Chains A and B, each alone.
Chain A
Amino acid sequence: MPKCTINGKEIEVKEGTTIIEAMYSNDQKIAHYCWHPGLSVAGVCRLCMCEIEGNPRLQIACNTVITEGMKVNNTSEKVRDAAKWGLDFHLINHPLDCPICDQAGECGLQDQYMEFGKYDPEMAERKQKKHKVVDLGPTVVLDSERCILCSRCVRFTDEVTKTSELGIFNRGDKSEIGTHDGKPLDNKYSLNTVDICPVGALTSKDFRFRQRVWYLKDQETVCNGCSTGCNVKAYFNKEGFYRVKPQHNAEVNGYWMCDEGRDVYKYVNREARWLKAQKRTSAGWEEMLPGAAAKDASSVVKANASGTALVLTGQYSSEEYESVLKTFTQELGTKKVFHWVNNSSSFDSFDGLLLRGDRNPNTKGLLTAMEKFGLPASKWADLEAGLANGSITTVVVAGPENQVWFPEMKQVIQTLSKAKNLIWMQTGKNAELESLSGNVWLIPMKSYVEKDGTFVNYKGLAQKFKKVTTVVSEALNLSEAAQLLAGQNLMIKPETSVLVETARPADRVMQEHRKKNEFVMKRGTL
C-alpha cells in the first residue's frame, strides 16, 4: 500500500492506483476529458497534467501509477499554464456554437475555460471545417467540429458494449469520429456515449433542442424499467420530465444504463397520464376525483369481499405491497391474490450487461410480500376459472406504469372485463380500458417519481428512492387506494402539482430528415 502526498494531503492508496483515481476518490479537483472511471486509459487529451516532485516535466495523472512517497501537485502555476495551453489547443478548431449546442451549461470545455482559460484566442488561422449534424444511428447525432477526439465514445463501444461501431478516421486536424459503412451506431446502450462525451459532439435525438439544461432540476431515483434497478437521475422542470441519466452505483449498474430505461420518463409526463378517475357503467360514464372513485368502488368491494380478487404487477414499491396485502387479507379477508407476469416468454432473459427480461422493478419485493402474508403463488388459470364459474365477481387490478412492456395488456383487459366489477388502478392512459362499459372504475395512480419507496432488484438488493416531484396532484398510491377500497376514511393531503400545461407546436422536421445529412465513413473517400 504505497503512501503519497497529493496537494499537501497525505493518502494511502492501493497498489497500481493512478494519480487521477486517487484524486477522484479523494474529492480533489483535476481537469480531464479522456479519462473516465468506467473505461480504459487513453491519455490523449493532455489536460490532466500534474507536477511530481523530482520529475522535471509535467506528467499526465491518468496514466501515472502512484509509487511510494510520491509528492504530487496540480495547483501550481506551471500546471495551470499547461492546462490553459492544452485547452487552447482543443479550441483551435472548435466552432464555439454554444448557443445552439445542447451541451452548453454542462460542457467540459466551458467549465475548464472558466477555470483555466479566459484568454483571447491567438490563432489567426482559419478553422478546420468538418461534418455537422451527422446521423450516427437511431439515437445519436454527431457534430464533428465540436469533437475533441478524446475517444471516450470509441472506447465505450469497444469495451463496454463490445460492438465497436465507432472509430476515429483520418489523421491530424482532419480526424473525425465516424461509423463504418452500413453499420450505424445502433445498440441498446448507445446513449451512454452522449453522457460520457465531455463536449456537445454527441447529442441525443430524443433530448436534442427540447430544453436548455440550466432550466432543468435533477433528482436521484431508481429506474423502474427492469429488475436491475439502475440508479438514475431524472431531469425535470415545470413542464415535465425531459431525460434520465445514469448515476454511478458499483453494485448495480456501474456508470451505465440502457436506452430503453431512458424512455421511462415519457410515461410519467402529464400527456400520458390519467388525470381524473372514471366510473363507467352501462348507463354512461362520469369523471371523479381519484379518492372519491376509490371510495365509491368500496361499496362493491365490501359487498363481495369473498369474491374479490387482487391482481398485482411488479411495478409498485415494497411498502405499497405490504400495505395493500395487509388491507386485503386482514380487512377484507380475501386470499385471492394473483401475480400478473408480463412478457412471460422473455421474462427470465438477460442481455449480459444490464437489461433484464423481467421489466418490473420490484417483482422480488412483490413475491416476498406475498410470502410474508402466507399467500400461495396462485396461478393465472385459477383467476380465469374463477371468473368463468362466478366465484370471482370483483377484480381489483394494480396495473403497469410502462405499458409497452406488457404486450399481453389487451388480452388481460379482455379477460378481466368479464368480471362483474372491475377496478383498474394505473398511472397511464389506455384506450381499451377507456372504452369498457359495465361496472368499471379507472383510478389514476402515482408514478414512481411521485412517491417514496423501496424497490428490491433481481438479486435481492433493496434500494430506497425518494419522491422527485408531483405530476398528477390527485393521484393515489397503492396503500391509499387499498384503504379507501376497504371502506376506510383517509385524510389525503392534496399535493400541489408544480407542472403546468404547455402547448407545444408540432415540429416541422422529423427524424427522416436527418438521414439526408448522413455521413458514413467509407475508407478512401475523404
Chain B
Amino acid sequence: MSVAQRENELQKWYLPGILGGLGITMKHMVKNLLNKKKMITLNYPEEKYEYSPRFKGNHVLTVKKDGSLRCTACMLCATNCPAECISITASEHEDPTVEKYPIKYEIDILRCVFCGYCEEACPVDAVRMGPEWQTPGLSGANFKYNIEHLAYRPQLKGGIQSVLDDEERHKAGI
C-alpha cells in the first residue's frame, strides 16, 4: 500500500495537528450535548436502526393465501446461489395443481453471503431477503434454517404472503 504524504510546513510541527483534531472532537461533543436529537450514534441494543426496505437480511419463504409454502421446489435459487448454501428436496404434492413442492428446504446461513441472487432467481416470489439481521445462535446447528424457521418463525406472524396468486393467474389464462 502506498501512503500519500503531504509535507507542508504546518504538518512538520506536532501541536497544530493535535489541537486541530481535539477542536473537532470538542465541537461535536458540545453540539451533541446541546442537541441530543441530532446525535448520530445509537445506544445499540436498546435503540435500533431502521434499515431501508431493500435491506437484504435473513431469508423468508413466502406463503400462499392458505398458508402453505409458495415454493415449487424448482431449485433455481439453489442453482443460482454462489455460496451453494441452499439445499432442497422436492416431492410430489397430492394436489395436481401444485404438483411439486419442497419437503426439505435448508439454508446454511453461515455460508450465505447475502447477495440476494436466490431472490432474483425465484420465478414465483417464494424466497425473499427479509429485514432481520440480528440472529444469534448457540451452536452451529442453529444456523441451518429449515422450512419451519424460514416460513413460519414467530417474527413473521404466520408467514408473509406472496404477491403471486395461482387462482388469479389461471383466471387470466396464463
- CA gap between A397 and B73 in the complex, in Å: 45
Residues in B neighbouring A215, C-beta threshold 8 A: 75
Residues in A neighbouring B68, C-beta threshold 8 A: none
B80 to chain A, nearest CB (A): 12
B92 with A99: CB separation less than 8 A: no
Residues in B neighbouring A133, C-beta threshold 8 A: 96, 99
- Given A126-B173, A127-B173, A209-B100; A508-B94 close (CB under 8 Å): yes
Q: Which A484-526 residues have C-beta < 8 A from chain B? A: 504-509, 513-514, 517
A279 to chain B, nearest CB (A): 37
- Given A99-B74, A126-B173, A132-B97; A209-B104 close (CB under 8 Å): no
Q: Is B174 an interface residue (CB 8 A)?
A: yes
- CA gap between A129 and B75 in the complex, in Å: 26
**Mask for A150-187, Cβ within 8 A of B = 1, else 0?**
00000000000000000000000000000000000000
Tell me what chain A mostly uses at the interface: helix, strand, loop, or mixed. Answer: loop
- Given A99-B72, A214-B79, A505-B104; A209-B174 close (CB under 8 Å): no
A248 to chain B, nearest CB (A): 30
Name the interface size band of chain A.
20 to 34
Chain B residue nearest to A141 in the complex (CB) = B92
Pick the contact of B103: A129, A214, A508, A513 (CB < 8 A).
Answer: A508
- CA gap between A175 and B104 in the complex, in Å: 37
Q: Which A74-106 residues have C-beta < 8 A from chain B? A: 98-100
- CA gap between A370 and B90 in the complex, in Å: 49
Residues in B neighbouring A505, C-beta threshold 8 A: 89, 103-104
- Given A100-B72, A133-B99; A209-B173 close (CB under 8 Å): no
Total contacting residues, chain B, CB less than 8 A? 24
Residues in A neighbouring B123, C-beta threshold 8 A: 99
Tell me what chain B mostly uses at the interface: helix, strand, loop, or mixed. Answer: loop
Q: Is A212 an interface residue (CB 8 A)?
A: yes
A508 with B91: CB separation less than 8 A: yes
A507 with B97: CB separation less than 8 A: no
Residues in A neighbouring B76, C-beta threshold 8 A: 99
- CA gap between A122 and B43 in the complex, in Å: 57
Q: Which B83-123 residues have C-beta < 8 A from chain A? A: 89-94, 96-97, 99-100, 103-104, 123
A340 to chain B, nearest CB (A): 39
Q: Is A464 an interface residue (CB 8 A)?
A: no
Q: Is A208 an interface residue (CB 8 A)?
A: yes
Residues in B neighbouring A100, C-beta threshold 8 A: 72-74, 99-100
A509 with B91: CB separation less than 8 A: yes
A131 to chain B, nearest CB (A): 9
- CA gap between A100 and B99 in the complex, in Å: 8
- CA gap between A109 and B92 in the complex, in Å: 24
Pick the contact of B91: A125, A127, A209 (CB < 8 A).
Answer: A209
A132 with B96: CB separation less than 8 A: yes
Which interface residue of A100, A129, A212, A214 has the most chain B CB atoms within 10 A?
Answer: A100
Q: Is B124 an interface residue (CB 8 A)?
A: yes
Residues in A neighbouring B92, C-beta threshold 8 A: 208-209, 507, 509, 513-514
B94 with A209: CB separation less than 8 A: no
Residues in B neighbouring A514, C-beta threshold 8 A: 92
A517 with B96: CB separation less than 8 A: yes
A143 to chain B, nearest CB (A): 9
Q: Known contacts A126-B172, A132-B97; can you find 12 more A-B pairs with CB under 8 A?
A: A98-B74, A133-B96, A209-B73, A209-B92, A210-B90, A212-B75, A212-B79, A215-B75, A504-B89, A507-B103, A509-B91, A509-B94
Q: Footprint of B on A, CB under 8 Å? A: 98-100, 125-127, 129, 132-133, 208-210, 212, 214-215, 504-509, 513-514, 517
5 of the cross-chain contacts (CB-CB < 8 Å) are A99-B72, A99-B124, A508-B91, A509-B94, A514-B92
A-B pairs, 8 with minimum CB distance: A126-B173, A99-B74, A133-B96, A100-B100, A209-B90, A509-B92, A517-B96, A507-B91
